[in-house]
Structure 1
Amino acid sequence: MTIPRVVMVLTSHDRFGDTGRPTGFWFEELAAPYYVLRDGGVDVALASPAGGKPPADPASLTPDTRTPDVDRFLADAEAAGRLATTERLDSLHVDDADAVFLVGGHGTMWDFPAQPQLATLVAAVAARGGAVGSVCHGAAGLLDVVIDGRPLIEGRALAAFSDAEEQLVGATDLVPFSLQRHLHARGARYTEGAPFQPHAVRDGQLVTGQNPASSRRTAVLLVEALRSPAATDTRP
């Protein structure tokens, strides 16, 4: 039996615009899905736009935000080695991926949109019926994905970090755009749960989660999608 391969993509961007405030990927949104996938017998590759070690948002490593999955990752020499040597997106062979998972963190708002290599990877996986997942701000990497002249997310139910959550973390005026509104503008059927509570949605082979607390559930749904036959188009 062939072992499925998932490419997890992380941001390479480490600042909120020109403010000097650090950001990057959110560690729980890497660690929880990583272990759901690895413990489920899935082969995981880590990639980023620039390759090498991507920046972790320091706010995701405080005592209040560290989870058991994060602690497990930090103590895992193999996982740390993978993170330190992520593959460059432009070096990936898109045919080698059965699924792609876009890890969140505010950094994605700068380098995931209009990233041609990322859009090509996601489109290639989706076009052949593979699973596509994202959590939190990772959905920024879905905005510019087009298949057969139509946005991938048009008419699809999905979740991502909400405007309400953006306001609660004080980032409304720091991010370059509203993710929620841009998803709406691409025709997505955006769904929203309570702020910072788990909320994940599966629409066929598209699996998305709203926030860090949704990371594990989103990955569980991604594994379900990997093990399911390619679904018919669920869009109206």
Structure 2
Amino acid sequence: MTKALVVLTNHEHFDTLNKTTGLWLSEAVHFSQVMKDNGIEVDYVSPKGGYVPLDPGSIEGDNLDPISADFYFDADFRNRALGASLAPKDITATDYDVIYFAGGHGTVWDFPNNAALGSIAKSIYDNGGVISAVCHGVAGLLSIEENGQKFIQGKNVAGFTNEEEEINGLTHDVPFLTEDELIAAGAHHTKSDPYTKHVVVDGRLVTGQNPQSAAGVGQAVIEILNK
């Protein structure tokens, strides 16, 4: 059976603000819904394992869309993904055909330097699988190395843009700007208008710009798997 591994953040607060953060729920579950619709089993992992915090904004108002609500109010999802996510040590990379780094601001703290997650992702890719990520979750790509270089060097990618971060008012409250960091790692970064869908496919690497792109990333992954 085809399986996907969804990576979630454990980081729950800003360093410079009295403000909580964490996973942006729709970025995980819109992708997971696409997997579910295509008969693909999903497991959830985080850098530390265990509890995964939610960015409170992701379950407020219109952000709690029907798909997000279905997952959020599902006890199995809350327990497996948010309450007791797997740790990297629990993962056997050969069990998975896809890895997907979901976003939320927390990821820019605990994804970029996580060698264990980077190694899992590279193993899945080397076994013919797909690496995918969305929004701030593309920070997880920075942990992947290939032949002593950043895996994304020379590759086409999307990710949360500087303009979108400015709209959030958080430009000076994150460790780095995602767009800048992708470019600094040697990636070819492209973007669309703020908060509009933008998905980039480069071989078996699929990336999306923002929450609006999460389902599109999932759909692009399915197209690759079906080739």
Q: TM-score, normalised by structure 2?
A: 0.96
Q: More displaced, 96-105 or 74-83?
A: 74-83
Structure 2 residue 24 is matched with structure 1 residue 26: yes
Residue segments in structure 2 that go unaligned for 5+ positions in a row: none
- Where does residue 211 of structure 2 map in the other structure? 212
SS in 2 for 1:176: coil
Residue 36 of structure 1 is aligned with which of 34, 37, 50? 34
Query: Deviation at 1:100?
Result: 0.3
Greater helix proportion: 2
Q: CA deviation at 1:18?
A: 4.3
Provide the C-alpha distance between the structure 1 equivalents of 2:198 and 2:113, rounded to a whole number of angstroms.
26
Alignment-derived partner of residue 125 in structure 2:
126
Q: Compute the displacement of 1:16 (Å).
A: 1.1
Letter aligned with residue 161 of structure 2: S
Name whichever of 208-217 and 65-74 sits farther off. Answer: 65-74
User: Within the alignment, does 1:152 sit opposite 2:151 as a pair?
Assistant: yes
Partner of 2:164: 165
Counterpart of 1:13 in structure 2: which amino acid?
A: H
Q: CA deviation at 1:128?
A: 2.2
CA distance in 1, matches of 2:135, 2:88: 20
- Confirm whether residue 57 of structure 1 aligns to residue 55 of structure 2: yes
SS at match of 2:39: coil
C-alpha distance after superposition, 1:178-224 (max 9, x if no partner): 11111111111101011001111111100010000111111111111
**CA-CA distance at 1:66 after TM superposition:** 1.4
User: Residue 108 of structure 1 contacts residue 140 of structure 1 at CA under 8 Å; is this kept in 2?
Assistant: yes
SS at match of 1:143: helix
CA distance in 2, matches of 1:16, 1:64: 24
Aligned residues: 226
**Where does residue 135 of structure 1 map in the other structure?**
134
1:46 aligns with 2:47: no
> Is the CA contact (8 Å cut-off) linking 1:4 and 1:226 kept in structure 2?
no
Structure 2: distance between partners of 1:212 and 1:220: 14
Distance in 1 between residues matched to 2:72 and 2:98, nearest whole Å: 25
Residue deviations 1:46-98, cap 9 Å, x none? Answer: 01112112000001111132111111112323222222221012221122221
CA distance in 1, matches of 2:37, 2:213: 18
Match of 1:231 in 2: none
Aligned to 1:88: 87
User: CA deviation digits over 1:124-182, x for unaligned, max 9?
Assistant: 11222210000100000101311122321111111100000000001101100111111
Contact persistence 1:127–1:147 (CA under 8 A)? no
Q: Secondary structure of the equivalent of 2:215?
A: helix
Aligned 8 A contact 2:16 2:173 in 1: no
1:177 and 1:72 map into 2 onto residues whose CA distance is 33
Q: Which secondary structure state, in structure 1, belongs to the residue aligned with residue 5 of structure 2?
A: strand
1:70 aligns with 2:65: no
Using the TM superposition, name which of 18-27 and 193-202 deviates more: 18-27
TM-score norm. by structure 1 comes to 0.92
Contact 1:155-1:189 at 8 Å conserved across structures: yes
Alignment check: 8 A CA contact 1:156 1:188 kept: yes
List runs of 5+ in structure 1 lacking aligned partners: 229-236
SS in 1 for 2:133: strand
Q: What CA RMSD, in Å, does the superposition of the two structures yield over aligned residues?
A: 1.2
Letter of the 2:182 counterpart: L
